[in-house]
Amino acid sequence: MENQFNLIKLTDNYQLKPFDCGDADLNDFLLNCSKDFSRGLLAVTYLIEDENNTIAFFSLANDKISVTELGSESKWAERFKDLLPIGKQFNSYPATKIVRLAVSLDYQFKGWGDAILDYLKIWFATDNRTGCKYITVDAYRASLKFYEKNKMIYLTSKDRKSDTRLMYFDLSKLS
Ligand SMILES: CC(C)(COP(=O)(O)OP(=O)(O)OC[C@H]1O[C@@H](n2cnc3c(N)ncnc32)[C@H](O)[C@@H]1OP(=O)(O)O)[C@@H](O)C(=O)NCCC(=O)NCCS
């Protein structure tokens, strides 16, 4: 019989199943911090589970891309200027941030990460309740190739030597 998978929004009294993605900080976030983030209205966590395992989780929060903060890097400011709606210039653009994303070790490199990003893009582009133009992520260095493959673009070159890099995807580019 095919495995059943469920997408579950984490609530306070939900019993989390064990989870190991190979990264201690991400494991700790899910198992010990994600409910506090939900309670504090800081991030909402979603789980993908089968009957016995947490396959993956992602946590989301509101974000913005600030054009004024990018100001000194004219190449990037120019890129955003091209995308401005009908003659109106904004200082910042609304976004949803992937605060955390991780796939359990047993399920990595089997397409779950791709499927989650595809789902998020379609979810926010078609059920955009408050205005959200971009998906953003502060990506771990080890996962940059994964996000590049999913067409996410580096926001700035200032962080090119950092442990994490800011990336974005423009939802209005979805065909
Ligand atoms: C990074 C992560 C979320 C990717 O999810 P996944 O389900 O393993 O990825 P997928 O199987 O969907 O891979 C999609 C593509 O990205 C590639 N990819 C995935 N992880 C990669 C990595 N770490 N380095 C290079 N390429 C990677 C895959 O090879 C695949 O390429 P292909 O389409 O050419 O075959 C997952 O591996 C993970 O949780 N890693 C540990 C925690 C982590 O780094 N989280 C990111 C925090 S920002």
> Over 60: is that where the pLDDT of 87 sits?
no
For 51, the token pair is: 């009957």
- Ligand 1 lined by 143 (C-beta under 6 Å): yes
Rounded to whole angstroms, the Cα distance separating 35 from 10 reads 7
Beta strands in 121-163 (DSSP E): 134-140, 153-154
* Separation between Cα atoms, residue 172 and residue 175, nearest integer Å: 8
The Å distance, Cα 152 to ligand 1 centre, comes to 13
List, in order of start, the domains of the chain with CATH numbers: 6-173 (3.40.630.30)
Q: How far is the CA of 172 from the centre of ligand 1 (A)?
A: 24
What is the pLDDT, as a whole number, of residue 16? 97
pLDDT for 41: 97
The reply to whether ligand 1 has any atom less than 6 angstroms from the CB of 70 is: no
Q: Does ligand 1 have an atom closer than 6 angstroms to the CB of 85?
A: no
- With bands split at pLDDT 50, 70 and 90, how would you rate the model's confidence at 92? confident
Q: Where are the alpha helices (DSSP H) in the chain?
A: 24-28, 34-39, 74-82, 112-126, 144-149
For the question of whether the overall pTM of this predicted structure is more than 0.85, the answer is yes
CA-based nearest residue to 17, from 97, 113, 106? 106
**Using the 8-state DSSP alphabet, how is residue 41 labeled?**
T
108 touches ligand 1 (CB under 6 Å): yes
Nearest C-alpha neighbor of 143 from the set 98, 79, 94, 76? 98
As beta bridge partners, residue 95 has 63, 134
Tell me, using a 6 A CB cutoff, whether residue 116 lines ligand 1: no
